[in-house]
Structure 1
Amino acid sequence: MQALRGTKDILPHEIMIWQHIYDTAKEILTLHNYSEIRTPIIENNELFERSIGNYTDIVNKEMYSFRDQNNRYLTLRPEGTASVARAFISNKLYLENKVNKLWYLGPMFRYERPQKGRQRQFHQLGIEYIGCEQPISDVEVIRLAIKILKRLRLTEYILEINSIGNTKERSQYTIKLKDYLNIYKHDLDVDSQNRLDTNPLRILDSKNQKTKEILINAPKLKQFLDKKSIKHFNEVCKHLSYLNIKYTINEQLVRGLDYYNYTAFELKTNEKSNQNTLCGGGRYDQLINQLGGPSTPSVGWAIGVERLLLAVKDQIKLKTIRNIIHILIPGNKIHLKVWDIIKILEEYKINFEVDLSGSNLNKQIKKAYISKAKICLIIGENELKDEYITIKWLETKIQQKIKFHQLRKYFKYIKKEIKT
């Protein structure tokens, strides 16, 4: 049996870096008063159609949707923001606090061609700043994404930002953009031709070189922005500059989800590839109202964890947790006394391993050496007969005999030494 194509087992030796990313995010975000939220991986299909947009690639091509035994149309969540917005509404979090700062890390599902850094089951780390319309909240979430990347020792990145205005402004711009692109319709790549009638703004994000050349002289969205949109964007830029956060204004940046307005941004690596985006986000002031909740301005982002791992794996060197003590029991006779030893090690939080292989003592000691343990506790027939433990220090070769009743006192005395 093999794992499904596009899915991957996360093995024990990989878990440490996953946990490190989780712990890093938790520490930074908790400091800034963000609370963790965990939403179901399965939702009603309508949630994503209404929030992400019927003409987006995610809804049209990439969602894992099915009917259950009760004929409900369900979908494995393809992204986190819509689920958090739904949780905000259905749990009436707006009654508790005007502003809710939430973060999550969990699996998402999209039916895409598996490739490096992109799986069909993938993971996103995301934050949502719900309930604030001030530009400073846009800056806060961008700054937090950068802080997390830097803490993970990823210092080479590019921040691209853009203002995509509001729904009215984008509608006016879309008409002009469509008129322009229709002139070159047959020169566009196939995906862009298909998007011309359904989602023309997504053509701005095309990676096709010929299409990119056509877009050079296309109308610019900024020409359609009103004073409020421009003021909001200028404030974001002013705060970023004050914080010495370098950014590039990318007028082609629109993001792939319908719910964004005003600020859109991406953090990318320096790699020259189409898969170099680590973090994407923006402001979504209408989404919660659109889903049946109160009018609630919000902003957030998501980081693809698998891509992040590829970017930081060589920078992060984590200390392997080893079993400091090996309890060796030669032969197959296991005495009840071993439980008393285990309780003492648990009490002092000392990592240990009980060798239940039944091998002879020399083989068990050799195995302990290979694992780089510090101490072996030997419980053989002589030890049980005379009620003591043989303690063998592997680095110095020193051996000691400690009576059972003195064992707790002994570990209290040496615990600091063996943990260094």
Structure 2
Amino acid sequence: MSVQIPRGTQDILPGKVEYWQFVEQRAREICRAFNYQEIRTPMFEHTELFLRGVGETTDIVQKEMYTFKDRGDRSLTLRPEGTAAVGRSFVSNKMFGNPTQPTKLFYIGPMFRYERPQAGRFRQFVQFGVEALGVNDPAIDAEVLALLMSFYQSLGLKKLKLVVNSLGDTESRQAHRQALIDHFAPRIGEFCSDCQSRLEKNPLRILDCKKDRDHELMATAPSILDYLNDYSKEYFEKVQQYLTDLDIDYVVDPTLVRGLDYYNHTAFELMSEAEGFGAITTLCGGGRYNGLIQEIGGPETPGIGFALSIERLLSALEAEGIELPVETGVDCYVVTMGDEAKEKSVSIVNTLRRAGFVADKDYQDKKMKAQFKAADRVQAKFVVVLGDDELAKQVVNVKNMESGEQQEVSIDQLVSYLQQQV
């Protein structure tokens, strides 16, 4: 009986993993330019963190978490998203006490959600996220969005649509919440069981329902923008002005609702408009969450961030036909003839590697022709040929695999010769 890979997971093999490495490195470079520092949190946390931080009415908490008891009978959960874990670390390590704020962090790592696997969606997926904690300023909202757009655009993506909305402050949300209850309550029996349970707990989540999105009451639901108080209106207007100043194209969508309970004020999603990308177009989502840190035991601290799936990013690149310039192949492959030459090749390959070249050799005692075929398969730029005759003269023959030109080079001068050629 063969052991199969768990449903909703994937093996990322050589030939594909290089693309992951490329985009992850690009994410780190962009974050460095914006002065965001990497943080790494545990892959599992106490379940209570996500109940309080993500929200008990969310689909993530109600349906998608991988939760288990450890040997101490403690309830633990594989992290389904990164923001709550970063918030917990912010509190645990008293980062709120740092004299310089905001605290600007990013993370890249696996997340886990039990959902129906489909194209670009897995039960284990890799998320890149950014969090800016400690400042309540529309300018930092715009900075986070500028970082997001810089990352996607630096990879060559063009068919992007940024959608923004305001969920308002607590006062605005409470007024909108009551308006939603009054709007849906008379006919809530026509909605799914999830929506019925959300009516009193979090009616805003009804607007995010996939089952009832075509119900006529959805189209006429009260808009949050009609319930923003003066402060919330001014905040949102400033965010929009900064985006305009930064030449970031966006559209305002008053129906945009994020799936997590901790959002307020700025909320946003980035979507792909590439043909053939799929029915689910969202690439990234995020927003401001001024109540999260206090909810998980810290002081009142504003924050804003986003998270995106590397899997969906790669799908968007494929949909737009973008080939990333990943490095493949080896610089030099050593081909040998004879036992003494084979022994000497071990030190030659090591010398090349220590000089910074990607180098390899045959380990299967193949014939010379087969060794050259192996060099082709690994896309070697140069082949170094060493036989017993060459060894006696302390030279090698270096063949440029693109031009076909061949040059006899002293073994002692091999590194310097290759450095001049590449």
Question: What is the TM-score normalised by the length of structure 2?
Answer: 0.91
* Structure 1 residue aligned with 2:361: 354
- Alignment correspondent of 1:222: 225
Contact 2:328 2:379 in 1 (8 A): no
Q: Which residue of structure 2 aligns with residue 17 of structure 1?
A: 19
Point out where structure 2 has 5 or more consecutive residues left out of the alignment: none
Is 1:87 the equivalent of 2:99? no
- How far residue 333 of structure 1 moved from its aligned partner, in angstroms, is 6.9
CA deviation profile, 1:39-75 (whole Å, cap 9, x unmatched)? 1111111111111111111111111010011111100
Q: Would you say 1:205 and 2:212 are equivalent positions?
A: no
Residue 409 in 1 paired to residue 410 in 2?
no
Q: Compare 132-141 and 406-415 and name the one that shifted more.
A: 406-415
CA offsets, 1:271-290, max 9 Å, x none? 68652111111111121122
Kindly provide the CA deviation profile for residues 196-248 of structure 1, in whole angstroms up to 9, marking residues without a partner as x.
34332111123446645312222222233221111111111111122232222
Matched, 1:244 2:285: no
Please report the RMSD computed on the Cα atoms of aligned residues, expressed in angstroms: 2.2
Mapped to 1, the partners of 2:88 and 2:178 lie a distance apart of 32
CA distance in 1, matches of 2:171, 2:163: 24
How far the C-alpha of 1:331 sits from its partner, in A, is 6.3
Change (3 A) 1:319 1:39: closer
1:268 maps to which residue? 271
Specify whether residues 177 and 400 from structure 1 end up closer, same or farther in structure 2 by C-alpha distance, changes over 3 A only.
Answer: closer
Over the matched positions of the two proteins, sequence identity in percent amounts to 40
Out of 31, 34, 42, the position equivalent to 2:33 is 31
Q: For the structure 1 residues 363 and 190, does the alpha-carbon distance in structure 2 shift closer, same or farther, using more than 3 Å as the test? A: same
SS at match of 1:350: coil
State yes or no: 1:303 paired with 2:305. Answer: no
1:285 aligned residue: 290
Change (3 A) 1:305 1:334: same
Residue pairs, 1:253-402, within 5 angstroms? 253-270=256-273, 274-313=279-318, 314-330=321-337, 335-385=342-392, 387-395=394-402, 397-402=404-409
Q: How many residues of Structure 1 are paired with residues of Structure 2 in the alignment?
A: 415
The verdict on how the C-alpha distance between 1:98 and 1:182 changes in structure 2, with shifts beyond 3 A counting, is same
Other-structure match for 1:59: 61
TM-score by length of 1: 0.92
The equivalent residue for 2:183 is: 180
Partners of 1:144 and 1:185 in 2: CA distance = 41
> Aligned runs of 1:60-75 on 2, under 5 Å?
60-75=62-77
Looking at structure 1, the residues matched to 244 and 24 of structure 2 have their Cα atoms a distance apart, in angstroms, of: 29
Q: What's the secondary structure of 1:162's corresponding residue?
A: strand
Alignment CA distance shift 1:55-1:381 (3 Å): same
Amino acid at match of 2:44: I
Task: Provide the residue aligned with 1:128 in structure 2.
Answer: 131
Alpha-carbon separation, structure 2, partners of 1:256 and 1:317 = 32
How far apart, CA to CA, are the structure 1 residues paired with 2:368 and 2:387? Answer: 9
Q: Residues 379-412 of structure 1, C-alpha deviation per residue, up to 9 Å, x if partnerless? A: 334444554434444455555554xxx4232431
Contact residue 152 and residue 316 of structure 1 kept, 8 A = no
Structure 1 distance, partners of 2:120, 2:36, is 27
Asked whether the 8 Å contact 1:331–1:359 carries over to 2, the reply is no
Which has the higher mean CA deviation after the structures are superposed, 363-372 or 385-394?
385-394
Output the CA distance in 1 between the equivalents of 2:15 and 2:383. 24
Which one-letter code corresponds to 1:253 in the other structure?
Answer: L
Distance 1:395 1:278 in 2: 40
Equivalent AA in structure 2 for residue 270 of structure 1: E
The amino acid that maps onto 1:92 is K
Amino acid at match of 1:130: L
1:304 Cα offset (Å): 1.5
> Superposed, which structure 2 residues align to 1:118-157 within 5 Å?
118-157=121-160
Report the Cα distance in structure 2 between the residues aligned to 1:367 and 1:334, rounded to whole angstroms: 18
1-structure distance, mates of 2:394, 2:417: 20
Q: Shift of the alpha carbon at 1:37?
A: 0.9
Of 170, 173, 177 in structure 2, the residue corresponding to residue 170 of structure 1 is 173
**Cα-to-partner distance string for 1:138-170 (whole Å, 9 max, x where unaligned):** 111011111111111111111111111123432
Residue-by-residue CA offset, 1:71-115 (whole Å, 9 max, x unaligned): 111000010011111111111222233321111111100010001
Distance 2:291 2:202 in 1: 19
The CA distance in 1 between the partners of 2:130 and 2:389, in whole Å, is 60
| Cα distance, 1:319 vs structure 2 | 4.4
The DSSP-based 3-state class of the residue aligned with 1:12 is: coil
**Closer/same/farther in 2, CA of residues 287 and 308 from structure 1, 3 Å limit:** same
Corresponding letter in the other structure for 1:186:
G
Distance 1:179 1:64, change over 3 A: same
Q: Give the secondary structure class of the aligned counterpart of 1:69.
A: coil
